């Protein structure tokens, strides 16, 4: 007997998102290169923010997302660990059942709040896991990228699909992270269009 997964409560975020559509069109190699984009897409001036600025929440009408910078970075670190674990389970196990994640519960529990949670640790998690995961994904065969896991809301997902969500999630939130930094420090200085770093295919490459 088959069961129909409940509706994905976050589907509205990527249903008509040009970024998600762009990432969806990439081939396996292009998607893996794009996943190599990590902290390089962050406004590096976030390390210049004071603790008060890092912990300042925003009203919805500000248009930069409501979470404080520190909370958003903590969320991104946890999400990266989650996506990597899901991909590795899908490759290593036969059709594993993934657990759902209530990210708001982590925020409400104060897992990211206050100066006892240095943002450098969150950023380092994202960077390290991206480097490790990209190197690992490049070793997988097409059959391994097609291995599947069952998500309680999104249904059956391949390793490639999980990588797609991972790539989209970071870039989607990085846009709001950078807008928050600009609210505090002004427009971001222009940087050379050189891509995200070694192996990246998101900018500066045709």
The tens digit of pLDDT for each residue in 134-191 reads: 999 999 999 999 999 999 888 899 999 999 999 999 999 999 999 999 999 999 988 7
Q: Does residue 14 fall inside a structural domain?
A: no
Q: Does residue 171 fall inside a structural domain?
A: yes
Q: Does residue 24 fall inside a structural domain?
A: no
Q: What is the mean pLDDT of residues 2-8?
A: 45
Q: Does residue 2 fall inside a structural domain?
A: no
Residue 36 falls in which region: left (phi positive, over 0), alpha (psi -120 to 50) or beta: alpha
Contact status, residue 14 vs residue 168, Cβ threshold 8 Å:
yes
Q: Does residue 106 fall inside a structural domain?
A: yes
Q: What is the mean pLDDT of residues 63-89?
A: 96
Query: Euclidean distance between the first and final Cα of the chain, in Å?
Result: 47
Residue 38 in this model has a pLDDT that exceeds 90? no
pLDDT, residue 170, reads 96
Residue 122 CB-density burial (10 A; 0-12 exposed, 13-18 middle, 19+ buried)? buried
pLDDT, residue 82, reads 96
Q: Does residue 195 fall inside a structural domain?
A: no
Domain containing residue 90: CATH number: 1.20.120.450
Residue 119 in this model has a pLDDT that exceeds 90? yes
What is the domain range of residue 82? 40-185
pLDDT, residue 196, reads 59
Residue 5 in this model has a pLDDT that exceeds 50? no
Residue 205 in this model has a pLDDT that exceeds 50? no
Q: Does residue 125 fall inside a structural domain?
A: yes
Q: Does residue 47 fall inside a structural domain?
A: yes
Number of compact structural domains in the chain: 1
Residue 57 in this model has a pLDDT that exceeds 90? yes
Contact status, residue 60 vs residue 51, Cβ threshold 8 Å:
no
pLDDT, residue 189, reads 87
pLDDT, residue 153, reads 85
pLDDT, tens only, 151-166: 988 889 999 999 999 9
pLDDT, residue 1, reads 33
Residue 202 in this model has a pLDDT that exceeds 90? no
């Amino acid at each position: 007997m088959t069961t129909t997964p409940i509706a994905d409560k976050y589907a509205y975020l990527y249903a008509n998102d040009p970024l998600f559509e762009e990432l969806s069109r990439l081939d396996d190699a292009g998607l893996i290169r794009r996943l190599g984009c990590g902290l390089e897409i962050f406004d590096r001036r976030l390390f210049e923010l004071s603790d008060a600025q890092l912990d300042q929440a925003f009203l919805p009408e500000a248009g930069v997302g409501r979470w404080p910078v520190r909370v958003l970075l903590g969320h991104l670190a946890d999400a990266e660990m989650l996506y990597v674990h899901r991909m590795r389970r899908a490759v290593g196990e036969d059709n594993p059942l993934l657990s759902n994640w209530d990210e708001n519960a982590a925020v409400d529990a104060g897992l990211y709040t206050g100066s006892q949670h240095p943002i450098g640790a969150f950023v380092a998690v994202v960077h390290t896991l991206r480097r490790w995961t990209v190197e690992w994904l490049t070793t997988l065969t097409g059959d391994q990228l097609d291995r599947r896991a069952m998500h309680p809301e999104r249904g059956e997902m391949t390793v490639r699909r999980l990588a797609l969500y991972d790539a989209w999630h970071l870039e989607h939130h990085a846009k709001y992270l950078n807008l928050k930094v600009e609210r505090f420090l002004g427009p971001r200085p222009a940087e050379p269009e050189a891509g995200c770093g070694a192996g990246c295919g998101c900018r500066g490459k045709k």
